[in-house]
Each structure stands twice: as structure tokens, then as C-alpha cells.
């Protein structure tokens, strides 16, 4: 089965929730949940770097059979040192761990404006705000981020409609 | 958003930025929350206190694409759950 076919964000996020990992969903999936209409193959998270939450994240990664691009199992405390992010393969798809997304001060910064969004199957992950997504994309200044940034900026301009979407009743 | 972004990139607290820029800390907080908007001159002063500057130049205005806007409005009218399901469905097709 191709890596793309394995993408199951519900399993990925449910595993993080089951282990009570403190994190905020960022990146393309975060933007999708905010309404960008993109398509993505992975979950990007900004985790709390509190030791207990990192321990829980380690347990969740074990459950997900997380491994590094070279196929070796991940050891968080070792593999995150000196790296801005960790890209992992898991049995439920790609998982990117970004402790301090560019332009932010990490989890404690993002969670202040993040919201718990009901996505079904009883899951309510914290999702970074539209403003914070724009902030992260604008700092990165990568060519591939131009279109997502333009979309997110337009979402900010259409703000009232975003609010309506996020506040509608949800079938969980 | 620019002030907050510059301050965070400079790793300054609002109090430190207040000290550097000579602007009131509460006012900086209001600017960051978009409660009020600083003048362009003040904005540059504050950004420069963070070690940044504004590179102001004229660029061509591209009006929003109507079809993109229609798609975005449709997406925004959905709940997060509906958005995720639609994305997963689109991946499959």
C-alpha cells in the first residue's frame, strides 16, 4: 500500500488524544480544518515541550509505529535535539512534529488563539488560529507557501463567514 | 499582526519592546490585538525597535479570483468535520 493511501488523520489524532498529548494542529491539515480547501497527506503538530507531554507523545508514537525516514524507530529526546522539526512515517500516515514553528514561540504561544474543533469520532483537537497560520506561512517565505498564504489571507478578509462555519452545530 | 510577529521573532516581551521603543506597553498590546491601528510612522518605529523594517513598494493589485472565492466561501460554510471529510473524499477520487 502506498504511503499516501495510509493517511488516516482520525487514527493519528485519536492516538495523540488517548495519550493526553498536549499539541496544536498546524500546517496543511490545520488550514483544511479552518476552511482552506487544500488536500494533504499528513498531520503537522506543534507539541508542548513539557517533559510529561513529551513522554506521552513518545508513547503515542510507539502505538503509531512511528519511524524516521530511514525506517528506524524514533527516540524523541534524541531525534528532536538540534532539529527544527521531525518528519515521521506512521501506520496512519505522515506525522510532522514541529516544537517551535517559525514565527511563533511554540505550543504555549499557539494554544492561546487555538480552538478545539470537533472533527467527528468524538475528537476535538486544538487547531491553530487562521491568524497564526498566516503568521507561520509568511515567515517561511517559501514558494510553495505563496498560494496557501494567499488563501489564508483571504480567509481572514472573509472572517465573519469563517466564524459562522466554526460555530455551526456539529454532528459528533 | 506585524508588530506581534516582529516582537516574537526578536524574542522580546511586550515590556521589553515598550522599553526599547518608548511606547506604552498597554498600547503595544492593543496594536497586537488589532483593537487600534498605529500610524505607518509608528509602525515602522516599533518594527525597527524589533530589528526589522517595512519594505514599502508598489505592487500590482490582484483582485480576488471569483471562482476561488466561491470555493472558499463554500468551504467556510462547512463545519471542520465536514471540511475534513470532504478533503479525505477528495483524496480518494
Beta bridge partners of A46: A24
Q: In the predicted model, what is the mean pLDDT of residues A161-172?
A: 48
User: Is residue A163 one of the residues assigned to a domain?
Assistant: no
A157 assigned to some structural domain:
no
- Does some domain include residue A70? yes
Q: What pLDDT does residue A163 have?
A: 55
Q: Is residue A172 situated within a structural domain? A: no
Whether A170 has a pLDDT exceeding 70, the answer reads: no
A156 occurs within a structural domain: no
User: What is the residue-averaged pLDDT of chain A?
Assistant: 88
At B61-76, the pLDDT tens digits run 878 888 989 999 999 9
Would the pLDDT of A69 be above 50? Answer: yes
Task: Compute the distance between CA of residue B12 and CA of residue B55 in angstroms, rounded to an integer.
Answer: 22
Percentage above 90 pLDDT, chain A: 67
- A76 in Cβ contact with A62 (< 8 Å): no
Minimum distance, in Å, between the CA of residue A39 and any CA atom of chain B? 6
When comparing pLDDT for A77 and A36, which is higher?
A: A36
Stretch B49-53: mean pLDDT = 95
Shortest distance, CA B19 to any CA of chain A (angstroms): 21
pLDDT of residue A169: 44
Confidence class for position B40, pLDDT limits 50, 70, 90: very high
Residue A167 lies in a domain: no
CATH number at residue A19: 3.30.460.40
Percent pLDDT > 90 in chain B is 59
What's the mean pLDDT when you consider all of chain B? 91
* Complex prediction ipTM: 0.86
Lowest-pLDDT range of A26-30, A127-131, B57-61: B57-61
CA pair distance A127, A110, nearest whole angstrom: 9
Cβ B27 vs Cβ B37: under 8 Å: no
pLDDT category, A166, cuts 50, 70, 90? low
What structural domains and CATH numbers belong to chain B? 2-49 (1.10.260)
pLDDT-derived band at B88 (thresholds 50, 70, 90) equals: very high
Percentage of chain B modeled with pLDDT above 70: 100
Question: How many structural domains does chain A have?
Answer: 1
- A70 compared with A1, residue with greater pLDDT: A70
Confidence band of B90 (pLDDT split at 50, 70, 90)? very high
* pLDDT recorded at residue A78: 87
Out of A7, A134, A168, the one facing B91 most closely (by C-beta) is A7
> Which candidate in A5, A35, A108 is best for mutational testing of the B interface (most B CBs within 10 A)?
A35
Amino acid A171: pLDDT: 39
**Per-residue pLDDT at A161 exceeds 70:** no
Mind telling me how many Å the CA of A62 is from chain B's nearest CA?
A: 25
What integer pLDDT is reported at residue A160 of this predicted model? 60
Assigned domain for A17 exists: yes
Domain that holds residue A53: 3-129
Give contacts of A166 with chain B, Cβ < 8 Å.
79-80
Q: Provide, as residue numbers in chain A, all residues whose Cβ is less than 8 Å from the Cβ of B33.
A: none
Amino acid at each position: 500500500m502506498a504511503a499516501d493511501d495510509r493517511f488516516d488523520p482520525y487514527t493519528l489524532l485519536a492516538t495523540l488524544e488517548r495519550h493526553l498529548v498536549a499539541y496544536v494542529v498546524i500546517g496543511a491539515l490545520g488550514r483544511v480544518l479552518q476552511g482552506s480547501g487544500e488536500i494533504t497527506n499528513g498531520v503537522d503538530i506543534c507539541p508542548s515541550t513539557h517533559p510529561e507531554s513529551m513522554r506521552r507523545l513518545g508513547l503515542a508514537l510507539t502505538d503509531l509505529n512511528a519511524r524516521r525516514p530511514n525506517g528506524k524507530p524514533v527516540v524523541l529526546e534524541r531525534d528532536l535535539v538540534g532539529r527544527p522539526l521531525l518528519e515521521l512515517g506512521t501506520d496512519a500516515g505522515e506525522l510532522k512534529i514541529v516544537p517551535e514553528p517559525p514565527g511563533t514561540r511554540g505550543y504555549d504561544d499557539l494554544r492561546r488563539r487555538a480552538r478545539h474543533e470537533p472533527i467527528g469520532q468524538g475528537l476535538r483537537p486544538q487547531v491553530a488560529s487562521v491568524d497564526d497560520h498566516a503568521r507561520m506561512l509568511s515567515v517561511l517565505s517559501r514558494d510553495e507557501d505563496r498560494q496557501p498564504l494567499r488563501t489564508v489571507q483571504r480567509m481572514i478578509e472573509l472572517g465573519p463567514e469563517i466564524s459562522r462555519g466554526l460555530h455551526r452545530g456539529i454532528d459528533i | 499582526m506585524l508588530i506581534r510577529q516582529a516582537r516574537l521573532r526578536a524574542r522580546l516581551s511586550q515590556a521589553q519592546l515598550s522599553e526599547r521603543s518608548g511606547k506604552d506597553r498597554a498600547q503595544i498590546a492593543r496594536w497586537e490585538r488589532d483593537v487600534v491601528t498605529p500610524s505607518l510612522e509608528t509602525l515602522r518605529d516599533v518594527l525597527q525597535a524589533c530589528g526589522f523594517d517595512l519594505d514599502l513598494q508598489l505592487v500590482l493589485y490582484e483582485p480576488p479570483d471569483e471562482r476561488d472565492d466561491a470555493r472558499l466561501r463554500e468551504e467556510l460554510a462547512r463545519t471542520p468535520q465536514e471540511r475534513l471529510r470532504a478533503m479525505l473524499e477528495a483524496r480518494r477520487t
